[in-house]
Amino acid sequence: MNTRPIMLFLVLVVAANSAPAVAEGPVWQPLTGGMAWTAPVDFVAHGARCGQRAPHEFPEVLPDAVPSDCTLGATSILPEYEPGDVLVIPVVVHVITSGSGTGNLSDAVIESQIDVLNEDYLALPGTPGALGTDAAIRFELATTDPAGLPTTGITRTANDTWWNDSDEYGFKTTLGWDQNRYLNLYTNNTPYLGYSWFPQWGIGWEDGVVINYQAFGRTSIPWPYNLGRTATHEIGHYLGLLHPFEGGCGIATSPGCYTSADLICDTNPDATETYGCPATTSCGGYAVPVENYMEYTDDACMELFSAEQANRMRCSLINYRPNLYTISSSGEIFSNDFEAGNLDAWSVVSP
């Protein structure tokens, strides 16, 4: 696709919308041994819980298989997208620090974030993610870089300009690895907890997930976002999920619930974002889905994707990110033959 107009548009939009959150600071306060948001309420005040743009803010790009079963306007829940073989996504974590080194996350924190993702996307028994739907999606730090060389799946860059960047200054274009083949996770001091990119917008330099370094991984930072669920949430967007409150209540029953609000039917109608972890109702008595990873609630409150969210994520992965994942089935790993540009050419690459 021609990305030039989109790039320009993105720069303008980001500059216009994110500048106040930075300019009104300092909302981030330095503390010994790290940084911390002054209070969780700051995120509410600044609208910065999630910086994901609205679904229709950018043009939608249809995949090869048209019509898609998971556009930004509708979802078709189909058996072929039900969780089965595990889809494995290689991850590269780009740690961006300030020039003086603030934000230099340890390998242990990064590994804890990968652990949390797998607990949540695989609903691993005995973990905080156990109550959710097993989406059969697994995340692994990349072991091979774009040049084919061995890698830890972690890069580290000190850059004062990129440290507070929300896409204005090009860290993605410089640091990003082939977005078709890697999930690029970036950490810096973005004024949001995190923001992401819907695959339905097309795969280019904009693609990837940015997480504020203090909300990345399982940490001891004393605030409600220290259990790694910000990445669980933002990667939900990366795999095509909308907020339960997207566009308001929408239509409660099928088939209208597949074309309104979050485009699926097994998350309750929800008028607006919810913070904390209240037991409350919305849209005429429906329980607010505070336990859903795609809400705005505290990390400890979030504990599940619904079955239809899992179906839509796998639909998005298969249709919009066909070269991103390998398939783990019966002890073998199958890889898509992206080199040949053949989206249907799966071959065994290991063991």
Minimum CB separation from Zn ion for residue 158, in Å?
A: 28
Return the closest-CA partner of residue 228 out of 344, 78, 93: 93
User: Is 246 a residue of the active site?
Assistant: no
Minimum CB separation from Zn ion for residue 135, in Å?
A: 17
What is the β-pairing status of strands 34-37 and 28-31? antiparallel
Say whether 138 sits in a helix, a strand or coil: strand
Q: How far apart are CA 243 and CA 267, in angstroms?
A: 10
Q: Are 261 and 312 in contact (CB under 8 A)?
A: no
Using the minimum distance from each CB to Zn ion, give the nearer residue, 50 or 227.
Answer: 50
Minimum CB separation from Zn ion for residue 274, in Å?
A: 13
Q: Are 43 and 223 in contact (CB under 8 A)?
A: no
- Our finding on whether 52 is near Zn ion (CB under 5 A) is yes
Binders of Zn ion among residues 205 to 234 (CB under 5 A) are none
Contact segment (CB under 5 A) with Zn ion among 45-53, 115-123, 128-136, 300-308 equals: 45-53
Q: Is the peptide bond before 67 cis (omega within 30 degrees of 0)?
A: yes
Using the minimum distance from each CB to Zn ion, give the nearer residue, 50 or 89.
Answer: 50
Contact segment (CB under 5 A) with Zn ion among 22-30, 48-56, 285-293, 304-312 equals: 48-56
Residues near Zn ion (CB under 5 A), total: 2
Contact segment (CB under 5 A) with Zn ion among 12-20, 49-57, 101-109, 331-339 equals: 49-57
Give the residue nearest to Zn ion (CB): 50
DSSP per-residue string spanning 178-197: -TTT-EEEEEE--SSSEE--
Using the minimum distance from each CB to Zn ion, give the nearer residue, 50 or 235.
Answer: 50
Using the minimum distance from each CB to Zn ion, give the nearer residue, 55 or 129.
Answer: 55
Contact segment (CB under 5 A) with Zn ion among 3-11, 12-20, 50-58, 154-162 equals: 50-58
Q: How far apart are CA 304 and CA 130, in angstroms?
A: 8
Q: How far is CA 350 from CA 58, 150, 182, 267, 347, in A?
A: 39, 16, 19, 38, 9
Using the minimum distance from each CB to Zn ion, give the nearer residue, 94 or 237.
Answer: 237
Query: Which residue in the list 111, 140, 206, 234 is annotated as catalytic?
Result: 234
Using the minimum distance from each CB to Zn ion, give the nearer residue, 297 or 326.
Answer: 297
Minimum CB separation from Zn ion for residue 64, in Å?
A: 27
Minimum CB separation from Zn ion for residue 102, in Å?
A: 25
Minimum CB separation from Zn ion for residue 273, in Å?
A: 9
Quickly tell me which residue has 């079963």 as its tokens. 69
Contact segment (CB under 5 A) with Zn ion among 51-59, 210-218, 259-267, 270-278 equals: 51-59
Quickly tell me which residue has 């340890």 as its tokens. 106
Measure CA 187 to chain center: 13
Q: How far apart are CA 133 and CA 7, in angstroms?
A: 36
Return the closest-CA partner of residue 91 out of 150, 152, 174: 152
**Residues labelled as active-site residues:** 234
User: What residues line the site for Zn ion (CB under 5 A)?
Assistant: 50, 52
